Amino acid sequence: MQRKKTLCRRGLLWLTLGVLLVAGCGPRRDAHPGILRYNIHGGLTSLDPAFASTLNNMLVSQALFTTLVGVDTALGVVPRLAHWWDVRDSGRTYVFHLRRDAFFHDDGCFAGERGRRITASDVVYSLRRLMDSATASPGAWLFRDRVVASPGGSYRDGFQAPDDTTVIIRLVRPFGPFLGMLALPYCGIVPPEAVERYGRDGFGRHPVGSGPFRFHYWAPGKALSLLRHPHYFRKNGKDALPYLEGLFFSFIDNPESEFLAFLSGRIDVLAGAQKALTDFFLTPGGAIKPALRTQYRWQRAPFLNTEYLGILQDTALLPAGHPLRNRSFRKALSFAIDRGKMLRYLRRNVGTPGRQGITPPGLLSGTPGYTYHRDSARYYLRQAFREGVRKMPLDIATTGGYLDLCLFVARSWQQLGIPTRVTVRPAAAHRQRMLQGELPIFRASWIADYPDAESYLSLFYSGNIPPHGPNYTRFQSPYYDSLYRAALSMTSRAGRTAAYRAMEAHLRERVPFVVLYYDETLRIFRRDISGLAAHPMGWIDWARIQKRAPHF
C-alpha cells in the first residue's frame, strides 16, 4: 500500500511538472529582469568570509568580498585587489601591489556612510584576523605553520603593510601552492570599522566588503538579498561590472519543491546532479533532452571533487585476520567495480569514472589507477586467499544521499563472492565515526581547497591523521611522507608534478582508497541567462552574469 502511495505521489509530481513545462513555453513575465534568483541547498552558516568553510558560504562570500588574487576557469592565478606581485627570497617572500580604485561598500560604519578606498592595512588586518584565535576561523589552517609567526602567536612579522598600496607576506619556507590559496574566499578583505561596529557575530549577519554585490537583507533559512555595488573596480572591456542589479538567494532543500519553483519561474538556475533532475532534463547519454533545448541552457563541466571509498589502514583498529589488512584483497575490490556502468545508470553520465588516482584529471592527468577488470579482481582475490585471508562480511558506511552508489558497489563485490552490506547514518554521525577510525570502509568526497594536487595528496600524509588533519584512512608510509614534504618546498611546477606522480603511484600499490568518480558541475538555466561560466572549483563569477529582459 505504501509503495502505491509513493508511486501516486511521483506520478502527480511528474504530471505537475509536465503541465508547468507546457505552460512555460510562452513568454515569461519577469517583474525583476535584473535580479538573478539562485537557490542554495542547505542554507548558510555565516556571511563572514572567515567562516567560508562550505561551498554555499564560499559562493555568497565571492559575491560580497574580494581577495588579493583570483583563480580563473583554467586554474590560473589572476589579479584582483593586487594588480601585480613579485616573489622573492626563493619563494619565501611575496610582495603584492594594490590597485587604487577598489572601494568598500557604502555602509553606516564609515564616515558619511560612504565606502572608502581599500588600503594595504585593510589586507593585513583581514589576514591577521583570520589567524586570530579570538576569531576562531576554520580557515586558520591556511597560514598556520606556513606564514612567519611573531612572538606571542601574532602574525605581525608575517603580514606587513609598509605603505598604503604594498602588502608583504613572509613564509617560513617555500610553498608552491601558496599564491592560489590567497584566492580562497577565507581571504576576503574586510574593513576594520565594520568588524568593530557589528562585532564578531554581528559581522557575519551584516557583512561589508568590496565584491560586486553588497548586503541588503538576510532571513536565515528563507532568503538573502544582495544589491549591485556601484563602485566595483572590475570591468569587461568598456562595460562596468557587475551586469546584474542584484542577487536573490532562496534556500529550498526539497528537490521536488525546487523543480516546481524553477519551472514556474521563481528561480532561474537548477544546480546539482540529483537523480530526479537528471532523469527529467537529460537523455541517457547525459545531454539535455531535445524538446527542452529551446527553453533552457545546460552546463556540464569538470568539478574538482573526488568521490571515493576510504579503507582504514591502521591495523590497530582492524581486528586480526580482517581481509582489509591484505593488499591483494584491496586490489581485488578496486578491480571489481564497473565505474562507467555506475555513472550511466545512476547519474546519466554526469561525472568521469574514477580510473586514475585520488587527484582529479583536471589537476593531475594520467596518474595510475584501477579500471574494471573481473579477471584481475578474481586473480587478486585468489592471491589474497593464498596469503591467508578468510572471508568476512564487509560493511560500507555512507550517508543517505549516496546509498544508491554504495549499493552498486556492494553488489559488485557480492558478485565476486564477498559478502557486503551498506550501513546508512546521518551525516554528523558518519563524519564523527570516520574521524575516530571506527569505519573500516567509508564513503567520502574531497573538494579541492585550492588549485593544486597537494590538496588531495595531503589526505594520506601521516602528519594529517585525525585530529591533526583529514587523513581519515590513517595511511602511513615513510616513503610517501618524504615525497610529500619534498614537494611542498618545490617552487618548480615540473618538480612538484613529478613528486605528485610518484606519490600517486605509491598509493595505487598500497590501495588505501577506491576512487568511484570525479565529479562534474551540472546546471540547467533559462536561455535569458548568459555569462554563467563553469569553474573547476565550483565557484561562480557573479559579476559577469547577465540576464536579458524578455521581449513581448
Q: Which of 285, 248, 230 is nearest to 40 (CA)?
A: 248
Q: 403-438, pLDDT tens digit by residue?
A: 999 999 999 999 999 999 999 999 889 999 999 999
Cα(250)–Cα(252) distance, integer angstroms: 6
Phi, psi of 76 (to 5 degrees): -90, 145
CB neighbour list of residue 100: distance below 8 Å, 6 or more residues apart: 117, 165
Provide mean pLDDT across the span 257-278. 84
Q: Which of 256, 339, 260 is nearest to 516 (CA)?
A: 339
Q: Which of 369, 384, 371, 444 is nearest to 417 (CA)?
A: 384
Residue 196: count of CB within 10 angstroms of its CB: 10
Report all structural domains of the chain as residue ranges with CATH numbers, in order of start. 39-247+527-547 (3.40.190.10), 304-520 (3.10.105.10)
Q: What pLDDT does residue 42 have? A: 81
Where helices occur in 146-227 by DSSP H, the ranges are: 178-181, 192-203
Q: 9-43, pLDDT tens digit by residue?
A: 444 344 344 434 433 443 344 555 699 999 998 88
Q: What pLDDT does residue 550 have? A: 54
**pLDDT score of 510 more than 90:** yes
Q: What pLDDT does residue 437 have? A: 95
**pLDDT score of 515 more than 50:** yes
List beta partners, residue 117: 103
225/22: higher pLDDT:
225
Q: Give the pTM.
A: 0.85
Tell me if residue 271 falls in helix, strand or coil: strand
**pLDDT score of 125 more than 80:** yes
Tell me if residue 515 falls in helix, strand or coil: strand
First to last CA, the chain: 48
Report the mean per-residue pLDDT for the chain.
Answer: 90
Provide mean pLDDT across the span 426-452. 94
DSSP state of 56: H
Where helices occur in 362-416 by DSSP H, the ranges are: 374-386, 403-415
**pLDDT score of 552 more than 70:** no
Cα(259)–Cα(347) distance, integer angstroms: 17
C-alpha cell, 357: 588516482
Q: What pLDDT does residue 272 have? A: 78
Q: What pLDDT does residue 88 have? A: 95
Q: What pLDDT does residue 409 have? A: 98
Q: What pLDDT does residue 30 have? A: 55
Q: What pLDDT does residue 166 have? A: 98
Q: 158-204, pLDDT tens digit by residue?
A: 999 999 999 999 999 999 899 999 999 999 999 999 999 999 899 99
**Polymer length in residues for the chain:** 552
Using pLDDT thresholds of 50, 70 and 90, give the confidence band for residue 259. Answer: confident
Cα(282)–Cα(396) distance, integer angstroms: 30
With the CA atoms of 217, 221, 222 and 227 taken in that order, what torsion angle do they form, in degrees rounded to the nearest 10? 30
CB neighbour list of residue 333: distance below 8 Å, 6 or more residues apart: 311, 377, 413, 418, 511, 514
Asked whether 36 and 529 are in contact (CB, 8 A), the reply is yes
331 CB burial (10 A radius; 0-12, 13-18, 19+): buried
Q: What pLDDT does residue 194 have? A: 97
Q: 76-97, pLDDT tens digit by residue?
A: 999 999 999 999 999 999 999 9
Using pLDDT thresholds of 50, 70 and 90, give the confidence band for residue 131. Answer: very high
Cα(12)–Cα(275) distance, integer angstroms: 17
Cell 535584473 appears where? 34
Q: What pLDDT does residue 155 have? A: 94
Cα(46)–Cα(215) distance, integer angstroms: 13
Asked whether 158 and 150 are in contact (CB, 8 A), the reply is yes
